[in-house]
Amino acid sequence: MGSEILGLSIIQTFSPRDYMIIKVESVIAITKTKYQEVIIADLKGYGRALVLDGLIQSTEVDEYIYHESLVHPVMVTHPNPERVLIIGGGEGATLREVLKYNTVRKVTMVDIDGELIELCKKYLKSYHQGAFDDPRAEVLIMDGKEYVKKTQEKFNIVILDLTDPYGPEISKALYSQEFYEKIYKILKDDGLMVTQAGSSFYFEKVYDYVLNNVRQVFPVVVEYNVWIPSFGYACNFIIGSKKYNPKTLNINEVEERLNKRGVRGKLRFYSATTHISLMYLPIYRA
Amino acid sequence: MGSEILGLSIIQTFSPRDYMIIKVESVIAITKTKYQEVIIADLKGYGRALVLDGLIQSTEVDEYIYHESLVHPVMVTHPNPERVLIIGGGEGATLREVLKYNTVRKVTMVDIDGELIELCKKYLKSYHQGAFDDPRAEVLIMDGKEYVKKTQEKFNIVILDLTDPYGPEISKALYSQEFYEKIYKILKDDGLMVTQAGSSFYFEKVYDYVLNNVRQVFPVVVEYNVWIPSFGYACNFIIGSKKYNPKTLNINEVEERLNKRGVRGKLRFYSATTHISLMYLPIYRA
Amino acid sequence: MGSEILGLSIIQTFSPRDYMIIKVESVIAITKTKYQEVIIADLKGYGRALVLDGLIQSTEVDEYIYHESLVHPVMVTHPNPERVLIIGGGEGATLREVLKYNTVRKVTMVDIDGELIELCKKYLKSYHQGAFDDPRAEVLIMDGKEYVKKTQEKFNIVILDLTDPYGPEISKALYSQEFYEKIYKILKDDGLMVTQAGSSFYFEKVYDYVLNNVRQVFPVVVEYNVWIPSFGYACNFIIGSKKYNPKTLNINEVEERLNKRGVRGKLRFYSATTHISLMYLPIYRA
Amino acid sequence: MGSEILGLSIIQTFSPRDYMIIKVESVIAITKTKYQEVIIADLKGYGRALVLDGLIQSTEVDEYIYHESLVHPVMVTHPNPERVLIIGGGEGATLREVLKYNTVRKVTMVDIDGELIELCKKYLKSYHQGAFDDPRAEVLIMDGKEYVKKTQEKFNIVILDLTDPYGPEISKALYSQEFYEKIYKILKDDGLMVTQAGSSFYFEKVYDYVLNNVRQVFPVVVEYNVWIPSFGYACNFIIGSKKYNPKTLNINEVEERLNKRGVRGKLRFYSATTHISLMYLPIYRA
């Protein structure tokens, strides 16, 4: 009997029509918060994982690839990132990456789902690694749209770590031109934002909609993509910048910045050569 | 997006090559006992379920079909079932069915897996419905083969409620001719035994092996089968009897015995007409 | 690697939420007719199969169980079935079963999908076994609703061999009270009709709707159900009769009729005892 | 009902434990050659695809990513690739890519499976685009191991386009150190070889075995990896070179070579910047 596929599994889509079947070793938590269905489970071969509305957000074996790719290109491109805003990012791993920079004085993380944050704090310790307790970190449970509308602060970097633009309803407004205009306003003149943007290969129209929204607002727009194994696709990222362009940095400059800012030796995927590679890799389109 | 199949599922085989995908609403327990992998979960559309080594043993919505079909044909056929032995049956539902008979003075249930019994007691209350606490019930945690070898008692009825003969290793010896010979010895002269026997349609060779083993030992052998939805097949049952034949009972006799023995009104699937139907239904073979 | 599940498969639902995965050995035809998607394929363990709109209609190893269960209870119950109408039944296997009766003078089979009939004639020879060429058979490619409205003939038996009432749109109107009223009108005073009715266990509401529609029209209504392995459930059948009740026949009467009408020795599942069993088996409900 | 997943599908593994479900629109051919099970099918969202022993080898929408990534890094690195050997590559797409170079005087393609080649010629025209008919192409149906042992010719480039090293038995010997030694012997002093090497992320041990085998034989070894959507992973490639190192080329050099050799404007994924990106991208490991 084909015993390998037997038992508890996560079935997730990774395109408008394809599915992945991933074996579950144990289920740590399964609940519906006010905003989404949350599963925290140990997946065979992937370790502890966060699954929101049936879609894997992160797994222990490859979350570093996603979070390093999201955070470091903008952080390195900025000449002196001191003030950072994260919207989403419930696992605390984006926060963890930002806090690696000794230039950072304060990071505000805004997530709408307080129940999710509590679950992540409790069950995803290998992700946040105590980042929530860093004195430079401020965590606010509120709607990112509201925060962006009301805050009086200005940021060097805004990082949007959201569920997919074609995924659950909860995130859709955070990929709109209107929202990017608000991000633009709360960025300093040297500011950059970055958003994950799902798959341009499998959801080309939605991706182009998001890309176009960023282009309507920011003078400098840079795309890159990175294969994330547990997602089943190369995840796209879009940078919107007021001034600095990550494509103009050379290897030595990236290396020097990582060193000076205390990040050297703390990364597993991103590096100076990875930066160049990501900036040169073609964007996947079907 | 095909959201219906998304998320947590149980994938089980029901034949040497086919699979079923069943949605999981929540996982109550997932553990490995000394003998088997145990999952207790709430399955969409099926309610609370027990899954051993990846195969559904019972679900809340159809366990009564299985347990009534296993227990009542032999219990009704015997003229006065007082002393009953159950081997396996961790859920406590077979015990529950046997205890419905006011003729029963004592039931001994022998299960090898004490950890499983504890999980069932705790999480499958709608199954056992307190049967474990009935003063006529005795539960022994030991190997059924050992019990049968050593017991000095004689029984009217022996019920074998085991995992499939082609399933996990744990149960295989309990489908052998050698084992049936031991059962024969501990049955009184008017005794009957019944065993579930998996699927004759999908595992014809193994079924025939079991059937032949019973035939080598008992003068009266009766087969019947009943579709159990969550199994994905019609489950076969084989009765071995020293004297009485369930096929010779007519509707009135079955009805009268159910009434006299206090079982009337306590059944959902089995009845006098069901008895006749099961005795007449062809055995499925591929 | 879990090679057993690899390769070409049919994935079908058998409930509002569950799926079956069945291995495909070869694909004989895959096409869209004017009315439905048709796949004819050889399935591992099931042989040549007909799949309409993703749902298995029949497979070589178990089609006889379905077709015998559909046809014989009404054919045996009628005292002298001479004139029979089949609506649907593209495989030709229902026709094959009806033609086994030497009492039958003419069978009209009406199917809306001429392309499907041609595919079945060509690729499902083990199903129809030449039934389409029997001089007593008349095959009309037209909408069953139209035929029933316009025909001037009267029938002893009408057999509705349709896709599920909760399945593709194509068949829904043929499960309505309005349609059964038309069937009633074209039946002789001694007439019976039978329809397959999908799964009462998994689609109880739709089943009850169909059952109620039959009850609104016919004085005698009898339900029965039979597990069909490749369907993943016990298939329900509903008989509507003007006069005769299949439940009142005893074993000897059924046997005698099968013998006299030349059907003896030509059946694999249905028999006199099977008739009794089906009439007594409880209807599955969740 | 979750209609999206219904119907004909390909289920493939992409790791030791995970599965992908991909919808099939039509099956063009399904057969067993002397060496492997071949399915040619139109997959929803992927177009015409070749599936060997249950694993997708190429699909119409992403085969160019795989074939360009396999062929061009070595072809560009060599100062004047005139004589090329391909082992495997039944689709004819690797041949197609090699023939884009005006420096190439002769390409020999050796594939063990003549039946497969015939199927590809007939049904994968968008892949080979007539490459088999190019006067510079020679196609030999024979065991690659035999050819390599017996040929008297010397090559600038050898391209190994095989099924995975952890996949079907047929290819395993072509990933051994012994085989690479033979490749070394038939390469000129300026020669390079490249092999696809499956997934280092999901099959790290096998990958390291292959990598080590190449390292035992070649003084210059370069790894790179590229996400291939229909494979479900970033496909690894390993270059073994006697002299030239693809990492030392800069953007201008790659661009100039593509231009001079007539390849400019004929590529969709590979380019001078892609070359740099691939050389800098980290190798995925779990």
Decide if B237 is inside a domain: yes
Task: With CA atoms as reference, report the closest residue to B32 among B170, B161, B182.
Answer: B170
Q: Give the HSE-up count for residue D176: Cα atoms under 13 Å, Cβ half-sphere.
A: 11
For tokens 């970033």, the residue is: D234
* C3 chain-A contacts, CB cut-off 8 A: 2
Ordered DSSP codes for A92-129: SHHHHHHTT-TT--EEEEEES-HHHHHHHHHH-HHHHT
Q: Is the pLDDT of residue C3 over 60?
A: no
Least confident of B183-192, C124-133, D99-108, D165-174: D165-174
User: Do A169 and A268 lie in a common domain?
Assistant: yes
User: Do A44 and A67 lie in a common domain?
Assistant: no
Element of type H or E holding C108? strand C106-111
Decide if C161 is inside a domain: yes
Burial class (CB in 10 A: 0-12, 13-18, 19+), A167: buried
Count of structural domains within chain B: 2
User: C228 with C62: CB under 8 angstroms?
Assistant: yes
Distance separating alpha carbons of residues C208 and C195, to the nearest angstrom: 13
> Chain C interface, mutation test: which of B5, B17, B22, most C Cβ atoms within 10 Å?
B17
User: Do B16 and B34 lie in a common domain?
Assistant: yes
Phi/psi-derived region of residue A241, left when phi > 0, alpha when psi is between -120 and 50, beta in every other case: beta
**For the segment C227-273, what is each residue's pLDDT rounded down to a tens digit?**
999 999 999 999 999 999 999 999 999 999 999 999 999 999 999 99
Decide if A211 is inside a domain: yes
Alpha-carbon separation of residue B153 from B82, B99, B107, B183, B214 (angstroms): 12, 19, 12, 11, 21
User: A132 with A92: CB under 8 angstroms?
Assistant: yes
Show the tokens assigned to A163: 């569920």
Taken in order D64, D68, D70, D71, the sign of the CA dihedral is: positive
CATH of the domain at C48: 2.30.140.10
The residue out of A25, A41, A59 marking a domain boundary is: A59
Tell me which chains share at least 3 CB pairs under 8 Å with chain C.
A, B, D
Burial D128-163 (b: 16+ CB within 10 A, else e): beebeebeebebbeebbbebbeebeeebbbbbbbbb
The residue out of B16, B35, B59 marking a domain boundary is: B59
Kindly indicate the confidence band of residue D21, based on its pLDDT and cuts at 50, 70 and 90.
Answer: very high
Kindly indicate the confidence band of residue D5, based on its pLDDT and cuts at 50, 70 and 90.
Answer: low
Decide if D142 is inside a domain: yes
Distance separating alpha carbons of residues D211 and D222, to the nearest angstrom: 9
Answer yes or no: do D1 and B4 touch at CB < 8 A: yes
Show the tokens assigned to A100: 């690696």
Interface residue A2 vs chain C (CB under 8 A): yes
Of the listed D111, D161, D164, D208, which one is catalytic?
A: D161
Distance separating alpha carbons of residues D270 and C231, to the nearest angstrom: 49
Decide if B205 is inside a domain: yes
The residue out of D42, D59, D76 marking a domain boundary is: D59
**For the segment C206-232, what is each residue's pLDDT rounded down to a tens digit?**
999 999 999 999 999 999 999 999 999
Can you say how many angstroms the Cα of residue A198 is from the centroid of all Cα atoms in its chain?
Answer: 10
Interface residue B189 vs chain D (CB under 8 A): no
Nearest to B227 among C227, C269, C273 (CB): C227
Interface residue B12 vs chain A (CB under 8 A): yes
Residue B225 CB partners (closer than 8 Å, separation 6+)? B200, B234, B235, B236, B237, B278, B281, B283, B284
Decide if B286 is inside a domain: no
User: Do B118 and B251 lie in a common domain?
Assistant: yes
User: Do D33 and D128 lie in a common domain?
Assistant: no
Domain that holds residue B143: 63-280
Decide if D149 is inside a domain: yes
Which chain B residue is nearest to residue C272, measuring alpha carbons? Answer: B280
Decide if A99 is inside a domain: yes
Q: What is the mean pLDDT of chain D?
A: 96
What pLDDT sits at residue C1? 33
> Chain A interface, mutation test: which of C4, C18, C20, most A Cβ atoms within 10 Å?
C4
What pLDDT sits at residue A167? 77
Backbone φ and ψ of C40, nearest 5°: -115, 120
User: Do C29 and C159 lie in a common domain?
Assistant: no
Show the tokens assigned to C214: 């039959």
What residues does A222 pair with on adjacent strands?
A239
β-pairing, A155-161 with A137-141? unpaired
Mean pLDDT in residue range A156-170: 90
Q: Which residues of A are catalytic?
A: 161
Q: What is the mean pLDDT of chain C?
A: 96
User: Do A157 and A121 lie in a common domain?
Assistant: yes
**For the segment B139-182, what is each residue's pLDDT rounded down to a tens digit?**
999 999 999 999 999 999 999 999 999 877 778 899 999 999 99
- ipTM confidence: 0.95
Mean pLDDT in residue range D111-128: 98
Strands ordered across the beta sheet of D106-111: D137-141, D106-111, D83-88, D155-161, D187-196, D233-241, D220-228
Distance separating alpha carbons of residues C86 and C138, to the nearest angstrom: 10
* C273 chain-B contacts, CB cut-off 8 A: 280, 282
**For the segment C19-45, what is each residue's pLDDT rounded down to a tens digit?**
999 999 999 999 999 999 999 999 999
> Chain D interface, mutation test: which of B3, B5, B19, most D Cβ atoms within 10 Å?
B5
* D274 chain-A contacts, CB cut-off 8 A: 280-282
Mean pLDDT in residue range A222-231: 98
User: A37 with A10: CB under 8 angstroms?
Assistant: no
Distance separating alpha carbons of residues A10 and B11, to the nearest angstrom: 10
What pLDDT sits at residue D2? 37
Interface residue C233 vs chain B (CB under 8 A): yes
Distance separating alpha carbons of residues A280 and D226, to the nearest angstrom: 13
What residues does B251 pair with on adjacent strands?
none
User: Do B130 and B33 lie in a common domain?
Assistant: no
Nearest to B281 among C5, C22, C281 (CB): C281
Return the number of CB contacts < 8 Å for A and D: 99
Alpha-carbon separation of residue A20 from B58, B267, C178, D11 (angstroms): 27, 43, 45, 9
CATH of the domain at B204: 3.40.50.150
Interface residue C6 vs chain A (CB under 8 A): no
Residue B246 CB partners (closer than 8 Å, separation 6+)? B73, B74, B76, B77, B222, B239, B275, B279
Q: Give the HSE-up count for residue D251: Cα atoms under 13 Å, Cβ half-sphere.
A: 8
Kindly indicate the confidence band of residue C6, based on its pLDDT and cuts at 50, 70 and 90.
Answer: confident
Angle at the Cα of A69 from the Cα atoms of A66 and A75, rounded to 5 degrees: 135
User: Do B75 and B212 lie in a common domain?
Assistant: yes
* C22 chain-B contacts, CB cut-off 8 A: 17-18
User: Do D54 and D67 lie in a common domain?
Assistant: no
Mean pLDDT in residue range B48-68: 96
Kindly indicate the confidence band of residue C5, based on its pLDDT and cuts at 50, 70 and 90.
Answer: low
User: Do D53 and D73 lie in a common domain?
Assistant: no
What pLDDT sits at residue D169? 76
What pLDDT sits at residue B24? 95
User: A165 with A171: CB under 8 angstroms?
Assistant: yes
**For the segment B200-240, what is each residue's pLDDT rounded down to a tens digit?**
999 999 999 999 999 999 999 999 999 999 999 999 999 99
β-pairing, C155-161 with C187-196? parallel
What pLDDT sits at residue B5? 66
Show the tokens assigned to D7: 């119907």
Q: What is the 3-state secondary structure (H, E, C) of chain D?
A: CCHHHCEEEEEEECCCCCEEEEEEEEEEEEEECCCCEEEEEEECCCEEEEEECCEEEEECCCHHHHHHHHHHHHHHHCCCCCEEEEEECCCCHHHHHHCCCCCCCEEEEEECCHHHHHHHHHHCHHHHCCHHHCCCEEEEECCHHHHHHHCCCCEEEEEEECCCCCCCHHHHHHHCHHHHHHHHHHEEEEEEEEEECCCCCCCHHHHHHHHHHHHHHCCEEEEEEEEEHHHCEEEEEEEEECCCCHHHCCHHHHHHHHHHCCCCCCCCCCCHHHHHHHHHCCCCCC
What pLDDT sits at residue A5? 66
Answer yes or no: do C21 and B21 touch at CB < 8 A: yes
Burial class (CB in 10 A: 0-12, 13-18, 19+), B168: middle
User: Do A34 and A115 lie in a common domain?
Assistant: no
- State the CB neighbour count (10 A cutoff) for residue B265: 8
* pTM higher than the cut 0.90: yes
Q: Is C113 among the catalytic positions?
A: no
